Structure 1
Amino acid sequence: MDIRKIDDSISVAPQITPEQVAEIASMGFKTLVANRPDHEEPGQPAMADVEQAAREHDMAWVYLPVESGNIVDDDVDAFAEMFEQAEKPVLAFCRSGTRCSVLWALSSARYTPVEPIIQRAGQAGYDLRGLIPRLQQQASSHQD
């Protein structure tokens, strides 16, 4: 299992299996977020099975599927609202973890300067420098 910590409130990971949920819960994660649509590729675990395992281990479950390579502002809005309300720490997963890190970064840009976002994602192994213009757009469109 390749869990990558972004900060104390969120970590991201590639696809997890129902069998890994017990270990994830034992690590202290409170909310499990699936950003990967069911049936995205053959052989991927059914989200219903991952959800059942999360519930069996007293974790909150959020299914917020986002199409790879097509993250729209509505997806960012949904992620931001979910993250604000979620019991932390959160573990979000998708195929590789990139989609989750992008959702976190774009939603975080609304209240956090861009450079620390890029730095935290980079420390977790995700190079989001290509997102800087979109991060800046999120920041400017959500200023008070």
Structure 2
Amino acid sequence: MDIRKIDDSISVAPQITPEDVAELARLGFRTLVANRPDREEPGQPAMADIQRAAEENGLNWVFLPVESGNIQDSDVDAFAPMFEEAEKPMLAFCRSGTRCTVLWALSSARHMPLEPIIQRAGQAGYDIRGLVPRLQQQASSHQD
């Protein structure tokens, strides 16, 4: 497993397997979020199998599939409250971890300065500087 910590509340990872879930629970994760659609590519583990493993290991399970390379504002609208309410720490996974990072970044831009978001994503290995216009749009459209 390639777990990449963004901050104390969230880490992201490329695709996990049902066999990985017991270790994730042992590491202290409380919520497991799948941002990858079932059957996105041949040979991918079934989300139902990962969900079953999560439940067997006492983890909260969230299935929030998002199309690769096509994150909509509605996806961010679904991710943001889930992230706020979820028991932490959380591990979110997709094919590479990028989708999860982008969802976190866009939802975080609604209430955090952009520079720490960009830095945290970068420290986790995800360069999201190309998202600055979209991050700014999220920030400006959700100001109190």
User: TM-score when scaled to structure 1?
Assistant: 1.00
Task: For residue 134 of structure 1, give the secondary structure of its aligned residue in structure 2.
Answer: helix
**Offset at 1:2?**
0.2
- 1:132 maps to 132
3-state SS in 2 of match to 1:7: coil
Partner of residue 81, structure 2: 81
Alignment correspondent of 1:97: 97
What's the counterpart of residue 2 of structure 1? 2
Count of matched residue positions in the alignment of Structure 1 and Structure 2? 144
Quote the offset at 1:132 in angstroms: 0.3
Deviation by residue 1:7-32 (Cα, 9 ceiling, x = unmatched): 00000000000000000000000000
Say if 2:69 is the partner of 1:54. Answer: no
Letter in 1 for 2:106: L
Partner of residue 72, structure 2 = 72
Displacement after TM superposition at 1:66 (Å): 0.1
For residues 24-70 of structure 1, the C-alpha deviation after alignment (integer angstroms, 9 at most, x for no partner) is 00000000000000000000000000000000000000000000000
Provide the rounded CA distance (Å) in 1 between the counterparts of 2:37 and 2:18: 16
Distance (whole Å) between structure 2 residues aligned to residue 23 and residue 121 of structure 1: 24
- Identical aligned residues as a percent: 82
Q: CA deviation at 1:93?
A: 0.1
Q: 1:26 — aligned with what?
A: 26
- The alignment yields a C-alpha RMSD, in angstroms, of 0.3
Aligned mates of 1:81, 1:43 — CA distance in 2: 31
Alpha-carbon shift at residue 4 of structure 1 (Å): 0.2
Indicate the SS of the match to 1:92.
Answer: strand
For structure 2, the residue ranges without an aligned partner over 5 or more in a row are none
- The question of 1:118 aligning with 2:118 is answered yes
Separation in structure 1 between the aligned mates of residue 112 and residue 4 of structure 2, nearest angstrom: 20
